[in-house]
Amino acid sequence: MYKTRGITSVLAGALMATSAMAETELTVYTAVEAEDLARYAATFNESNPDIKINWVRDSTGIITAKLLAERDNPQADVVWGLAATSLLLLKSEGMLEAYAPEGVGELDQKFVDKDTPPAWVGMDAWVASVCYNTVEAEKAGLTPPKSWQDLTDPQYAGHVIMPNPNSSGTGFLDVSSWLQIFGEEGGWAYMDALHGNIARYTHSGSKPCKLAAAGEIPIGISFAFRGAKSKAAGAPLEIIVPTEGVGWDMEATAIVAGTANLEAAQKLVDFTVTKGASEMYNTGYAVVAYPGVAKPVEHFPEGLLEAMIDNDFEFAANNRAAILKEWQSRYDGKSDPK
């Protein structure tokens, strides 16, 4: 902690000498929860008091669309806290300024773009999980599933709910992880079988777990963090990590190409890879980029980190359009409810 602070302040001092003493303002696009933003900015300003952050916050999809729409006239300096799959879309539009932040080597390399210098660096991850309502499942006489394959068992017919990948990032990370775990053909065969058990597909990624928590549908395919929160709120939930491994996506940071405030942007990205930053992310996320930092979050399932698959983000980003089209023609057309 002390060491990284030192480096940053030395860097800051060196840069300040060149860029006069004026306060720099950075326009930062983010999809991080609004309640966290003030805390993030304040922590950053402890070491960089001369850089003021102007947040532009919205949901992942909308911020991505906004960035893509501004492709020829970018308004943002930095993107801090956006899904890596979204950042890959921006990268493939040539919109990101590659930069290796100070100390990037310390991070878990799962969280760093494979190019050198990396176009983006990760912050924290959200991981797929299955929320299982023990009370309702017992009423319906179900046995808890252990794996993804278990979920295709006829006993769960109409008792499983998952997000629609066409509208939910969580839904897409499920689908892309199944295609990676079971292979392309096996993946679609798996989803064909699963589709028979799905009650319906929801719009958002957190709703399946909340519906499981409320007993509306006993099994919700969602993400672990959501399950832990509902469990903390008193829902009779068990959070199951399927044995084949689970899909995940991360929140990541990148510099927008063409920024007029490159130095300040680099300082911000330097900060986001520090141990301190990871500790800051840890209050909301159980899995963070800096190894050894994460403290267990209450009600989180065990073995989650080990179950995370080696996610091929490039595969996910480059095949996204085709996967979604295929998914829609297979499952969205059959619109009649069971």
Partner 1 sequence: MSVSSTELSQLPAGPNVKGKLSRDDLVMRGGMAVIALYLIVTLALPLYTMLSKSFSTYQVQLSQYEFQVSDEDGIYDGTIFTGTELNNTTGVYDHTDLSTGADGRLPVSKFFPDFSFRSSVMYQLRNTAEGGRFLVGSTLHDSTEWLEVDSNTFRRVQLRPVKARGIDNFVNYFSTPALFNSIKNSLWISLLSTVVTVSLAFWFAYALNRSCMRFKGLFRLVAMAPILVPSLLPGIALVYLFGNQGMLKELLFGASIYGPIGIVIGSVFFTFPHAFLIISTALAISDGRLYEAATSLRASPWRTFWTVTIPGARYGLISAAFVVFNLVITDFGLPKVIGGQFNVLAVDIYKQVIGQQNFEMGAVVSVILIIPAFFAFGIDRMVQSKQVSSLTARSVPFEPKPNSKTDSLFFVYCSIIGLFIIGMLAVCQFAALIKFWPYDLSLSLNNYQFDKMDGGGWGSYFNSIKLGLLTAVVGTSIVFFGAYLVEKSNGFLVGRAAFQMLAMLPMAIPGMVLGLAYIFFFNNPSNPMSGIYGTMAILVICSVTHFYTVSHLTAVTALKQMDREFESVSASLKQPTMKLFSRVTVPVCMPSVLDISIYLFVNAMTTVSAVVFLYSPKTSLASIAVLNMDDAGDIAPAAAMGMMIFYTNAAARIIHLIASKGLLAKTQAWRKR
Q: Could you tell me how far CA 222 lies from the centroid of its own chain?
A: 12
237 close to 110: Cβ distance less than 8 angstroms? no
How far is it, in rounded angstroms, from Cα 18 to Cα 21?
A: 9
Among 14, 34, 42, 232, binds partner 1 (CB under 8 A): 34
45-64: contacts with partner 1 (CB under 8 A): 57-58, 61-62, 64
* Integer Cα distance of 241 and 146 in angstroms: 7
CA 97 – CA 41 distance, rounded (Å): 22
Verify binding: residue 334, partner 1, rule CB under 8 A. Answer: yes
* Residue 72 Cβ vs partner 1, minimum distance, rounded to whole Å: 9
Is 214 one of the binding residues for partner 1 (CB under 8 A)?
Answer: yes
Choose between 37 and 181: whose C-beta lies nearer to partner 1.
37
Residue at 302: amino acid letter: E
Q: 48 vs 259, which CB is nearer to partner 1?
A: 259
Binding partner 1 (rule: CB under 8 A), the pick from 45, 147, 149, 167 is 167
> Of 130, 76, 81, 107, which Cα lies nearest the Cα of 260?
76
Work out whether 233 is an interface residue with partner 1 (CB under 8 A): yes
Q: Of 18-26, 143-151, 198-206, 245-253, which segment contacts partner 1 by CB under 8 A?
A: 198-206
Residue appearing with tokens 């000498």: 17
Other Cβ atoms less than 10 A from the Cβ of 213: the count is 22
Which span sits near partner 1 by CB under 8 A: 21-29, 229-237, 280-288, 289-297?
A: 229-237
According to DSSP, residue 109 is labeled G
Q: What is d(CA 85, CA 25) in angstroms, rounded to the nearest whole number? A: 27
Q: Which stretch binds partner 1 (CB under 8 A): 38-46, 69-77, 103-111, 177-185?
A: 69-77
Interaction between residue 43 and partner 1 (CB under 8 A): no
CA 2 to CA 12: how far, in whole Å?
Answer: 15
| Residue 69 buriedness (CB in 10 A; 0-12 / 13-18 / 19+) | exposed
At its nearest, how many Å lie between partner 1 and the CB of residue 217? 7
Using CB under 8 A as the criterion, which residues of the chain lie in contact with partner 1 when the complex forms? 34, 57-58, 61-62, 64-65, 68-70, 73, 88-89, 91-94, 115, 119, 135, 164, 166-168, 199-204, 206-211, 213-217, 233-236, 314, 317-322, 324, 328-329, 332-338
